[in-house]
Amino acid sequence: MTALDVRELLSDAAALYRDRPPAVAMLRECLERLEEPLKVGFAGTPGTGKSTLVSALAEWPTRALRDLDLFDTPALAEHVDATVRLVRHLEPDELAGARPAGGSAFARQSAVNSVLVLGRADEVGAGRIDALLTAKQLARRAWREDRNCAGFQGVIAVAGQLGYAGRALRDDEFEVLRALAAVSRAELERYLLSVDSFVDDQFPVRIPPESRKHLVSRFGLYGVRLAITLIRTGCESRMKLSAELVHRSGLGDLRDTLAGCFVARAEALKARTAVLRLENLLAADPRSQSDRLVARVERFAAAAHDFRELRLIADIRGGRTALSGEVAEEATRLLGVQGLAPTERLGLEPDSGPAEIHAGAESALVRWRHDAEREDAAHTERAAARVIVRSVEGLLSLFVA
């Protein structure tokens, strides 16, 4: 199933509903949206750091997020193709509220378009210096263990404010931080205790209170403390510190997840949105000839391999399969976690020739087909192996053409 088929499907539907202008307009909008960048919505209760995160990502000059449109709190779910859902704490009540909604069979089967973010990860652990590490562990544990998190493509702890400040770290900010790091730990400690003491008049270093206020409002007290510690332990240049802060804040993780799960699969996700809207239309206003369109929608749902790959990647990474270690690594790579190009899937050098690719794909096919047919393996394991076999077969089909 390709985007071309979806276009054809939408055009045929528009012909069927030509007597209803609103439906035609909707279908035309769907068609147009297939040409537009992927739309990602950020949802969550107020105070979870949505807008901070949106601005941190939207202004990021990174190739990975080039083809994305980010929306803060979309009004309607169907206005976006994928969702980043933010929560403040990984409390059961909050997680239960964040669970993606159900929908039709196809919507549920292809619900591979949301990522859960623990916003404000720097508040975890009462601002201890290892707070972000703890938050990452908590997020990982929740993804693996909490039933409410099973429907997400990832659970990521992000300190949005810190990541934003770190990514856009300015030279003057870095200079102030370096000046602070130069003061002895014992002397500085009591002034890093609270925001009040940090902007106190009796501050031991000659830095104007305004810059201190600016710094703490931009980085947060935790961020200031972390940045000083990082400078003391070796991040001596602005670039280094910036990279380290982005890495530690989890913003990098979020970017990679968005790139791997959303950007790389943009075509499939956009097609999904269009098909879902078409499905709703067909259910709300059935016509005598709409049966054939419904059947085509079902065929699309059955043939859409991208969703199965994404779902399996999430299951493998969330520890919900029997795969682990290197095997899991290879499986996710074949499923396209590092990119959809044949060389990326097979873990070959980018300049490998067709012969190498063919040989690599053949050997992978033999191994995974063996797994898919093992009698002693559990049903779910064999099903997983079958999905991977199908992905590898897709690689080999390139040669047939």
Asked if 221 is part of the footprint of another protein (rule: CB under 8 A), the reply reads: yes
Asked if 92 is part of the footprint of another protein (rule: CB under 8 A), the reply reads: yes
Distance between CA atoms of 369 and 378, rounded to whole angstroms?
15
Asked if 336 is part of the footprint of another protein (rule: CB under 8 A), the reply reads: no
> Of 86-94, 107-115, 263-271, 276-284, which part binds another protein (CB under 8 A)?
86-94
H or E segment to which residue 40 belongs: strand 38-43
> Of 26-34, 101-109, 210-218, 272-280, which part binds another protein (CB under 8 A)?
210-218
Crossing angle for the helix pair 379-400 and 354-372, nearest 10 degrees?
A: 150
Distance between CA atoms of 124 and 310, rounded to whole angstroms?
30
φ/ψ (deg, to 5) at 40: -115, 125
Per CB under 8 A, which of residues 16..75 are in contact with another protein?
A: 47
Q: Which of 11, 62, 194, 237 binds another protein (CB under 8 A)?
A: 194
Asked if 89 is part of the footprint of another protein (rule: CB under 8 A), the reply reads: yes
CB of 91 to another protein, least distance (A): 5
Q: Which of 103, 125, 319, 394 binds another protein (CB under 8 A)?
A: 125
In three-state secondary structure terms, 231 is helix
Asked if 197 is part of the footprint of another protein (rule: CB under 8 A), the reply reads: yes
Asked if 7 is part of the footprint of another protein (rule: CB under 8 A), the reply reads: no
Residue closer to another protein (CB basis): 190 or 287: 190
Q: Which residues contact 223 (CB under 8 A, 6 or more apart)?
A: 122, 159, 161, 162, 165, 166, 245
Asked if 120 is part of the footprint of another protein (rule: CB under 8 A), the reply reads: yes
Rg (CA), the chain: 24
Asked if 91 is part of the footprint of another protein (rule: CB under 8 A), the reply reads: yes
CB of 197 to another protein, least distance (A): 7
Q: Which of 5, 72, 78, 123 binds another protein (CB under 8 A)?
A: 123
Distance between CA atoms of 218 and 34, rounded to whole angstroms?
38
CB of 92 to another protein, least distance (A): 8
> Of 3-11, 25-33, 213-221, 261-269, which part binds another protein (CB under 8 A)?
213-221
The CA-based angle 137-307-22, given to 5 degrees, is 115
CB of 131 to another protein, least distance (A): 10
Asked if 88 is part of the footprint of another protein (rule: CB under 8 A), the reply reads: yes
Distance between CA atoms of 335 and 340, rounded to whole angstroms?
8
Residue 235 gets the label, from left (phi > 0), alpha (psi -120 to 50) or beta, of: beta
Distance between CA atoms of 333 and 330, rounded to whole angstroms?
5
Residue closer to another protein (CB basis): 221 or 314: 221
What Cα–Cα distance (Å) separates residue 140 from each residue in 62, 132, 144, 314? 25, 12, 6, 12
Asked if 146 is part of the footprint of another protein (rule: CB under 8 A), the reply reads: no
Structure token pair of residue 315? 């299951």
Residue closer to another protein (CB basis): 119 or 342: 119
Residue closer to another protein (CB basis): 95 or 271: 95
Binding site for another protein (CB under 8 A): 47, 88-89, 91-93, 96, 120, 123-127, 134, 138, 190, 193-197, 199, 213, 216-217, 220-222
